[in-house]
Structure 1
Amino acid sequence: MTTSLSQRLQAELTGLKDSGLLIHPRVLDQANRARTSVDGQQVVNLASNNYLGFADHPALKEKAEAYLRQWGAGAGAVRTIAGTLRIHEDFEEQLAQFKHTGSALVLQSGFTTNQGVLGTLLKDGDLVVSDELNHASIIDGLRLAKATKKVFKHADMQDLERVLQENDTDGLKLVVTDGVFSMDGDIAHLDRIVTIARRYGAVTYVDDAHGSGVLGEAGRGTVHHFGFDHADDVIQVGTLSKAWGVVGGYAAGHHDLRQLLINRARPYLFSTAQPPAVVGALSAALELVQSDPSFMERLWDNTRFFKAELHTLGFDIMGSQTPITPVLFGETETAFEASRQLFREGIFAVGLGFPTVPRGQARIRNIVTAEHTREDLEKALAAYGKVGKALGTI
């Protein structure tokens, strides 16, 4: 007998509920800032990717409003028909200059950027070698590619070299890695990855969603952090949300990369261009981070303080090297209960369990921002101390 839509929906939702994986997102009642209101409660916000505090920054809102008034509410078409406004190309030139690359192209999101770039570049007979902890958007992008796909153990350079040795090809070879890994907060060994990739004639592809605005001079990212920003055999992709506070994705690299993506990347070809207000806000974000180094300075001062104090309390922060600071609780229900108790203490920090992270490694992922005050972080640390003792974690 045919399954009805209602039966399918109920079965899937019941399965999620029984597994403890059914999500009910909390709702913010105010702008996404270091202190905000969530479900009617004032909280210190440790759940946002708003690294530099740009999501509600006056400079971004001012330029967004100016672009909105001059250029309208929407672009009106896909880029290849009638949706490319002068401001789109101006921003892409600004982004390429910022990233020190031959070209840059903006797409609708970081997720669709991986689908578009990987789907465009990789063909039958090519080889792609991917870190096992790469983001879901990379995994989905690779599903669209006809290339031979291999995985190397997370951050294991010997295993990367083994895979490249055992899988030669006359086609394009691509080594794919996150710049900063979103669950653990560790930084890819890009200095070694690029060296090994070059040894086997491979191109390095870096998803720098959590590295842009965080690492490198003026937030240029992980590639700049390791000194490869002028390299034509390194492709940078990422998001324009997170540190940049808005929305969108980008691909930056070889001067011909942009033109190929314009002609072949399906998310670019079949999606309406970004609204003018978004372009204005993004342009302001790049200007601001380059003119005022205090944003990154505060981000890293806060990060160092928060990590050191969590360590003193006795928490395992899983070797994080960046503002992404996981606190290990082990079992999924323990992490979720810790999140609930923290919320009652006025701290908004979300628990993550299987299948988002491996079994036995459930954690709360905290993200420290430039906007947090020392008072905010001390309040969070006091709450963590209370909750950690109550649950027997410390």
Structure 2
Amino acid sequence: MRGQSLRRAGLTVAAPVLAVVFAMIVTSLVLAVAGDPVGGVWDVIFSKPKARNVVNIVNGAGTLYLSALAAAIGFKMNLFNIGVDGQYRVAAFCAAWFGGYGLLPGWLNILAAVLVAMVTGALWAGIAAALRVTRGVSEVIATIMLNAIAGSLVAYLLRQFGEVDGNNLATTTLPKSSWLEGLQLVSGAPNKVYTLTILAVVAGLVYWVLLNRTVFGFSLRATGMSETAAAASGISSKRMILAAMLLSGAVAGLIGMPLIFSSSHSYGLTFQTGLGFAGIAVALLGRNHPVGIGFAAVLFAFLNEQANGLQIQAGVSSDIVSIMQGVIVLSVVIAYAVVQQVNKTAEQRAVAAQLAAAAKTPEGVTA
């Protein structure tokens, strides 16, 4: 049994590694067909990042990690929360708008704004959850529509309550007492790690404990595996769907907090978008496991940062990295399906071997 467990774990780890290798091969073929320098591109991507680039990678990985956790909570319930992007945008706007008034001093204002973001994200996700449990509306359709509504709603609110800052339209700038200078974790770097990147670490630990050490986590995973079996055990699938979506939205609300309090100090038209969709890819690559998601977030952040120099140093568009990331996600989905089938076949053979051995044991003799 121990050998089978090690074999299963080895195959699970090998799946994403093979997916990355396959993505590199496909990307190289695309570059070759386009007439771009294949070696030059990989030289740039795999060059040693400078200190400031390392800080950017850490900051990017933190936001991607939070986005992936929000998606992973839904995946554990067999829910596809594709609305993380809209949830974090609405939450970030509300948090920045609230924080800009400076109703509370210093850290209290920061904590209150973070709570506003979590509640807003949860409520926005709760709309899709309510439609699912009361009307049977697919959360995929509901969250896609809510993403579109979120973009238009935030744009409208910015026009109504925002302030013109040069070429940008943004919420009122946070009072300086609520600015977080960042953490000097990388020596020699002129920039700093966002202070609220710590939220990613805390959220990852809470996610692991909640899923693996609580009754709620067991109920959530059981409902995701089989609603019928969960109902037979007295678990309300509707209640779990609602709880999972609210929790997913609350985590989505945290995505923009590191950037708002350590860098932009407001929410405006130039605020980073697309993190919700990137988080879905990271969650799939990380197999919804907190550690796996961490590695996937670092990989995607690394690729994003290294891609910035492709146009100048190799004369190739940075969009090639987006192609590589897409191929990685498709490859890893296929790889995990193959691994699952291989493990299933191995388990069937092991059971068959045990039954055959039992059949050969003489009657009355203990095997």
Larger gyration radius, structure 1 or structure 2: 2
Q: By percentage of residues, which structure has more strand?
A: 1
TM-score of the two chains, using structure 2 as the length reference: 0.28
- TM-score after normalising by structure 1: 0.26
Q: Considering fraction of residues, name the structure with more helix.
A: 2
